[in-house]
């Protein structure tokens, strides 16, 4: 049992490296935006809650988890709505003691209402900039290419991401590139050219991998995409050579404790892979993935991790995560 208190974790300076915009819209904001726009499929926020938060009897598969993004996407097709939800996400993170916040987002699935890819990216950056002005934290955006849209679209998105890169602008900008969505049938090697473009544009490289597939896909992400970090990577623990490689090259794994159980990446009763990574010397970050869909937050995730870690260990993890952040210009 942990001897770390909630108050100690709240006071800890935390770094969030893996959090999705559409899965993290604070419920009251989602509900209000739905009602204002006549988009609410049910009559109360309580009923809506069940539709956007993964329920216990829905746990166990990635595809079921991804279904929870259906309704939030009705709202996030419009510029002002996107700005508003991102401001809410930043404020919620700041209230949890998050000092470095990297949000991630797939612009293409926010263009159904007619926004261009550029507008879909700018709207999030506007929300991030407003949020950073009003709260004491550093922010940046990782652009996601959905795997099922294919490698060619991923290349187009990598180029769009570069045009909004942080190093080209004064304010918060795009800091990284990622792929996400169903892994099966969409191996990382298909996206090598998109990653080469993103890398040439000085974006940080991460990839959702090893959540729904085995370690061979993580090898591909490391060898073929040249990732700096990995999202989830749970299946790496079954491959000792891969663990040594991740440790040697200091490839940080963005660990999402609650989400990984919900998607079935970690089986019930099995210890989370974060402890095996730490044991093997692989750098890790403690992340929420989706605060709304997973009904979690930074404090809860750190409390969960603290069942086998001390407060000092948590502080070290967040210090290292800060160094691995793609946001440029963070003072050490
Ligand atoms: Zn994720």
Ligand 1 centroid vs 243 CA: distance in angstroms?
21
Ligand 1 centroid vs 113 CA: distance in angstroms?
24
* Per-residue confidence (pLDDT) for residue 329, from 0 to 100: 84
The backbone torsions φ and ψ at residue 314, rounded to the nearest 5 degrees and listed phi first, read -65, -45
Ligand 1 centroid vs 317 CA: distance in angstroms?
19
Q: Helices 311-323 and 298-305: crossing angle, nearest 10°?
A: 120
* Per-residue confidence (pLDDT) for residue 167, from 0 to 100: 77
Ligand 1 centroid vs 146 CA: distance in angstroms?
11
Our separate counts of H helices and E strands in the chain read 15, 8
Ligand 1 centroid vs 147 CA: distance in angstroms?
13
Ligand 1 centroid vs 256 CA: distance in angstroms?
8
* Per-residue confidence (pLDDT) for residue 330, from 0 to 100: 85
Report how far residue 137's alpha carbon sits from residue 130's, in angstroms, rounded to the nearest whole number.
11
Ligand 1 centroid vs 107 CA: distance in angstroms?
15
Ligand 1 centroid vs 315 CA: distance in angstroms?
23
Beta carbons of 288 and 16 less than 8 angstroms apart:
yes
Ligand 1 centroid vs 234 CA: distance in angstroms?
12
Q: One digit per residue, pLDDT tens: the chain, 332 residues?
A: 568 999 999 999 999 999 999 999 999 999 999 999 999 999 999 999 999 999 999 999 888 898 999 999 999 999 999 999 999 999 999 999 999 999 999 999 999 999 999 999 999 999 999 999 999 999 999 999 999 999 999 999 999 999 999 877 778 899 999 999 989 999 999 999 999 999 999 999 999 999 889 999 999 999 999 999 999 999 999 999 999 999 999 999 999 999 999 999 998 889 999 999 999 999 999 999 999 999 999 999 999 999 999 999 999 999 999 999 999 888 65
Integer CA distances (angstroms), 221 to 116, 227, 239, 300, 318, in order: 29, 6, 15, 29, 24
Ligand 1 centroid vs 241 CA: distance in angstroms?
25
Ligand 1 centroid vs 19 CA: distance in angstroms?
6
Contacts 24+ apart (CB under 8 A), 57-62: 59/261, 59/262, 59/264, 60/262, 60/263, 60/264, 61/263, 61/264, 62/182, 62/183, 62/211, 62/212, 62/263, 62/264, 62/265
The backbone torsions φ and ψ at residue 296, rounded to the nearest 5 degrees and listed phi first, read -140, 180
CATH tag, 6-323: 3.20.20.140
* Per-residue confidence (pLDDT) for residue 278, from 0 to 100: 98
Ligand 1 centroid vs 20 CA: distance in angstroms?
6
Ligand 1 centroid vs 257 CA: distance in angstroms?
11
Domains of the chain, by residue range, sit at 6-323
């Amino acid at each position: 049992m942990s001897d770390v208190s909630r108050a100690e974790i709240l006071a800890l300076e935390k770094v969030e490296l893996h959090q999705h915009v559409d899965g993290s819209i604070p419920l009251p904001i989602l509900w209000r935006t739905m009602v204002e726009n006549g988009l609410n499929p049910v009559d109360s926020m309580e009923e809506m809650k069940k539709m956007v938060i993964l329920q216990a009897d829905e746990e166990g598969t990635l595809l079921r988890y991804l279904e929870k993004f259906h309704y939030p996407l009705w709202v996030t097709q419009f510029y002002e709505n996107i700005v508003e939800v991102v401001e809410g996400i930043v404020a919620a993170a700041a209230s949890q003691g998050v000092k470095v916040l990297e949000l991630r987002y797939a612009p293409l699935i926010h263009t159904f209402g007619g926004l261009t890819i550029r507008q879909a990216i700018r709207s999030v950056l506007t929300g991030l900039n407003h949020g950073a002005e009003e709260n004491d934290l550093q922010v940046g955006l990782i652009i996601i290419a959905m795997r099922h849209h294919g490698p060619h679209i991923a290349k187009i998105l990598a180029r769009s991401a570069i045009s909004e890169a942080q190093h080209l602008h004064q304010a918060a900008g795009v800091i990284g590139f990622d792929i996400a969505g169903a892994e099966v049938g969409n191996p990382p090697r298909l996206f090598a050219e998109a990653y080469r473009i993103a890398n040439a544009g000085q974006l940080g490289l991460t990839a959702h991998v090893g959540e729904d597939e085995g370690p061979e896909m993580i090898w591909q992400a490391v060898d073929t995409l040249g990732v700096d970090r990995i999202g989830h990577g749970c299946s790496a623990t079954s491959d000792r050579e891969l663990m040594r490689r991740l440790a040697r090259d200091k490839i940080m794994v963005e660990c999402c404790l609650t989400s990984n159980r919900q998607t079935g990446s970690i089986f019930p009763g099995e210890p989370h892979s974060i402890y095996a990574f730490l044991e093997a010397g692989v750098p890790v970050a403690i992340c929420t993935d989706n605060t709304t869909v997973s009904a979690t937050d930074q404090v809860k995730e750190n409390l969960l991790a603290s069942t086998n870690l001390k407060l000092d260990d948590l502080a070290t993890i967040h210090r290292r995560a800060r160094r691995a952040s793609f946001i440029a210009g963070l003072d050490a």
